[in-house]
Structures are given as C-alpha cells and as structure tokens.
C-alpha cells in the first residue's frame, strides 16, 4: 500500500519536473525567436527608411537645442510599431499551431487589453508620423495621449494597490483611474523628452524592456514576454544605426516622435500591467521594480519642470536643462553621457530588485533611489560650476591681459 503511494508521488514529481522543463524551454524559445526575428527585420527595414528619408529630404534639422550639426533622417521610429506587432502576432500564431495554448490569466481579458493597446498605439503612431512630417502642436499630442491613456482603464488595467508605498494600499476607482491615466501620459512624455542625444532614449528603453521581459518570463507571462523582447530586438537594430551610423555617409537615423511615443506607450502598458498584477501573477514588490525601469526619465521631467517653474519660464517650453544637457556641460562627450545614464538606470533597477529581495520597506527603497538622484544632481552641478568657473576666470584673465603668464603689450601712444 505504502509502496503504491510512493510510485504515484514519484510519477507526479517526474511529470511536474517535465512540465517545468517544457515551460522553461518554451520561454527560452519565445525569447530567442521574437528577439532575433525583430532584430533581423529591423536591420532589413531601417536602411530602406534611411534611404527614403534622404531621397524625400525628411530630415531633423539642427538648431540651438540639438547636438547634431547636419541634417539627419528622423523617421527611424516608423519601423517600431509594425515590426513589433507582426512579430508578436506571428509568434502567438505559431505557438497555437504547434499545440501550445497555455496562457496565464483570462484569455478574453488579455485579448481585450491587447486590442485596446493596438488601438492606442495606432493613434500615437499616426500622431507621431504627422509630427515628424509636418509638425503637431503640443496640445494636440497631449490630447491624443490622454485619449490613449483612457484605453487602459477601459480594459480594466489600473493601478489599484500601492502595496504600502507611502503607507498606501488599496485605491478606490476615483483615484486609481486618474492615477493610471496620469502615469501613462507621464511615462510616454518622459521617454519622448529624454530623446536628446544619440542612443539615450532607445538605450534606456532597451534596459527597461530587458528587465521587464525577464520578469514576465519568470512568471510565465508569455505574451508580455513576447512584446518586450520583440521591442528589444528592433530597438537594438535602431540603436546600432543611431549610435554607430555615420551622418555624412547617410547611415545615421533618429527615431523621431513616432518612435518615442510608441516606446513610451508600450513601456507604460507593461509597467502598469505588472503594477496591477503585483501580488497576483507577480510578487508584491514587482510594482516598485517595474517603475524603477523608467524612473530616470520620470525624475528628470520633475526636475526640469520644477526648474522652469522656479525661473518662471513656460513649463512646456523646450530648453537645454535635461540631465543629458547638464552632463554635456561638465565636459563629457556624448558617448560618456550615454554610458553614465545607462549605468544609472541599471543601478536604479538593481536597487529596487535588491531592496525587494532583502525585504526592505517599499517607501525606504524609493527614498534611497531619490537620495541617489539628489547626489547625482549635486555632483553634476559641482562639475558644471567648476568647469564654467574656470572658463570665467580664463575670460577675466584675457580681459586683463593675463593668460598663463603672458601679458598683452600695451599700445603705445
């Protein structure tokens, strides 16, 4: 009798291990398939976009706020939405055709959310193309973003629990719906406005999609996993042309508003989904980890808006006060600024993951991240004052006729 039960237990354990192995294999296959398919399509499509942009003179022209000195094609972001959509749909279809039909969660709810996500992406995609081609007012873009943000609560995707962050737990619909819409617009604009130097917005998005994709894979959220790694693939292809492309040889491209709006909306979808399902499909601390992936551009917006308010400048008037502009003023090259900010974003994610795993209070983890931001800003300001102070002294020396011991001879009467 006891031996028979033991055999049943062994059979159950063996099948459970086999099932887990199959889940892991499927996860790995979907990651590799979606990533490389998206990457290859990106390398195939982007050169054609650069070619057409050059033939039609669809350039991003230099001005006082921009760091490039010659016109550069700016329609690279046109490739993002179609490639991501095609790769995700194709991968899901292949999964069903080979007989794998396991999806965690309610399939109808998932279908509804993705249909509304595609609807919102289509709106922002068209608005972005219009802005890149003929220009769109900020009010029109804000209206479009608000409409798209309203699609999340419509599908039931809202942040309804902060899990003790700032001592707040459950949120009523009167708070959760406007909070969710605000966060969607906030994250979308944060990714858009941080796009000021080569590889920055796309690089930060790559890090975010990589972290979010692995989090979804670990919790068997396969569709969201496909979305993250398909976005990562096309982004890496774009990053190559954006960072390593030669503007004079016509191999460099910018993403434009079409790309940044697409990325911001996609990231807000994954972040808010993980925040909503924190404590359900994801561990409780996932809320904080998810938002840490986009924390750097979000904090930069707060600092820039506060700075404009303090100077009594128009809050939505473009300037050169973003964190990448400030780092350039310290004397760093563009490549150095890019490395610093990508590393800083990775550090924020590491702090959130480490704090959650260590069981720290969520508010304390957030305060640690804010403290790091303040330290970084103070350090940047120190080097700016030091460098610009040295320049001021040099100008004063020239004005008084002294430069490194050389005295300008006085003019004789």
Q: What is the per-residue pLDDT for 313?
A: 77
| 321 domain residue, yes or no | no
How large is the average pLDDT for residues 258-266? Answer: 95
What pLDDT score was predicted for residue 118? 96
pLDDT at 54: 83
What band does 282 get if pLDDT is binned at 50, 70 and 90?
confident
What is the domain extent for residue 67?
9-282
Q: What are the Cα distances from residue 285, in Å, to 171, 206, 227, 260? A: 17, 22, 22, 28
Q: At what angle do helices 80-97 and 256-276 cross, to 10 degrees?
A: 50
| Section 114-130 average pLDDT | 95
- Here the tokens at position 8 are 């049943």
In terms of pLDDT, which residue wins out, 318 or 79?
A: 79
pLDDT of amino acid 396 = 44
Give the per-residue pLDDT at 66: 60
Q: Is 301 within a domain?
A: no
pLDDT range class, residue 144, cuts 50, 70, 90 = very high
Say what the pTM is.
0.87
Res. 44: pLDDT tops 90:
yes
For the chain, the straight-line distance linking the first and the last C-alpha, in angstroms and rounded, comes to 121
pLDDT tens for each residue of 376-412: 999 999 999 988 876 655 544 444 444 444 444 444 4
For 1-15, 144-158, 296-310, 368-382, which range has the lowest pLDDT when averaged over its residues?
A: 1-15
Contact 53/75 with Cβ under 8 angstroms?
Answer: yes
Q: Is the pLDDT of residue 62 over 90?
A: no
144 is a domain residue? yes
Please give the pLDDT value at position 411.
42
255, 195 Cβ separation under 8 angstroms: yes
pLDDT at 393: 53
DSSP code of residue 58: -
Classify residue 137: in a domain, yes or no. yes
Q: How far apart are CA 293 and CA 297, in angstroms?
A: 9
Q: What is the pLDDT of residues 67-119, one digit of tens each?
A: 656 778 888 999 999 999 999 999 988 887 876 655 555 678 888 999 999 99
Query: Which of 241, 243, 240, 233 is CA-nearest to residue 337?
Result: 243
Among 13-22, 149-158, 373-382, name the one with the lowest average pLDDT. Answer: 13-22
Contact 77, 260 (CB under 8 A): yes
Question: Worst-scoring range by mean pLDDT, 24-38, 90-104, 338-352, 360-374?
Answer: 90-104
Residue 353 lies in a domain: no
For the chain, the domain total comes to 1
Separation of alpha carbons 283 and 356, rounded Å = 10
Q: Find the mean pLDDT for residues 351-359.
A: 93
Residue 128: pLDDT band with limits 50, 70, 90 = very high
Please report whether residue 355 resides in a domain. Answer: no
pLDDT of residue 8: 46
Least confident of 282-286, 335-339, 360-364: 282-286
Statement: residue 7 has pLDDT above 70 = no
Q: Spell out the alpha helix ranges (H) of 155-285.
A: 173-193, 200-218, 222-244, 256-276
pLDDT for 81 equals 96
401 within a domain of the structure (yes/no):
no
Q: For residues 248-263, give the mean pLDDT.
A: 89
Supply angle C-alpha 184, 190, 196, rounded to 5: 150
**Which residue shows structure tokens 């999340």?**
152
Mean pLDDT of 321-346: 92
In tens, the pLDDT along 190-227 reads 999 898 888 999 999 999 999 999 999 888 888 899 99
pLDDT for the residue numbered 305: 87
What is the overall mean pLDDT for the chain? 84
For residue 336, being part of any structural domain is answered with no
User: pLDDT tens digits, residue range 165-186?
Assistant: 888 888 998 999 999 999 999 9
Lowest mean per-residue pLDDT among 20-29, 124-133, 255-264, 290-299: 20-29
pLDDT at 13: 47
């Amino acid at each position: 009798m006891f031996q028979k039960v033991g055999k049943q237990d062994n059979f159950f354990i063996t099948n459970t291990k086999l099932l887990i192995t199959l889940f892991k294999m499927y996860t790995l296959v979907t990651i590799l398939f979606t990533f490389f398919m998206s990457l290859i399509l990106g390398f195939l499509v982007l050169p054609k976009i650069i070619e057409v942009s050059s033939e039609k003179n669809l350039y991003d022209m230099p001005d006082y706020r921009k760091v490039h000195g010659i016109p550069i094609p700016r329609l690279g972001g046109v490739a993002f939405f179609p490639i991501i959509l095609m790769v995700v749909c194709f991968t899901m279809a292949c999964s069903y055709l080979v007989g794998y039909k396991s999806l965690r969660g309610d399939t109808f709810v998932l279908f509804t959310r993705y249909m509304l996500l595609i609807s919102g992406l289509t709106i922002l995609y068209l608005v972005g193309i219009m802005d890149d081609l003929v220009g769109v007012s900020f009010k029109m873009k804000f209206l479009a973003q608000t409409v798209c943000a309203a699609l999340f609560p419509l599908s039931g995707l809202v942040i309804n629990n902060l899990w003790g962050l700032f001592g707040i737990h459950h949120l009523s619909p009167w708070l959760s719906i406007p909070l969710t819409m605000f966060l969607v617009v906030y994250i979308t604009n944060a990714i858009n406005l941080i796009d000021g130097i080569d590889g920055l917005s796309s690089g930060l998005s790559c890090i975010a999609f990589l972290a979010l994709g692995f989090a979804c894979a670990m919790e068997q959220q396969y569709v969201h996993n496909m979305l993250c790694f398909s976005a990562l693939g096309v982004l890496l292809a774009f990053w190559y042309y954006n960072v390593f492309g030669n503007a004079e040889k016509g191999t460099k491209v910018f993403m434009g508003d079409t790309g940044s709006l697409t990325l911001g909306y996609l990231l807000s979808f994954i972040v808010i989904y993980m925040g909503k399902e924190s404590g359900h499909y994801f561990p409780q601390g996932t809320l904080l980890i998810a938002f840490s992936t986009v924390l750097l551009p979000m904090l930069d917006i707060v600092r820039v808006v506060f700075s404009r308010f303090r100077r009594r400048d128009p809050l939505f008037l473009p300037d050169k006060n973003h964190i990448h502009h400030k780092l350039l003023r310290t004397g760093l090259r563009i490549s150095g600024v890019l490395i610093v900010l990508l590393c800083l974003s990775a550090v924020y994610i590491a702090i959130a993951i480490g704090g959650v795993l260590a069981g720290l209070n969520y508010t304390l983890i957030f305060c640690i991240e804010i403290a790091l931001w303040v330290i970084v800003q103070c350090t940047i300001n120190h080097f700016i004052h030091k460098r610009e102070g040295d320049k001021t002294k040099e100008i004063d020396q020239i004005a008084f006729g002294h430069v490194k011991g050389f005295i300008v001879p006085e003019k004789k009467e």
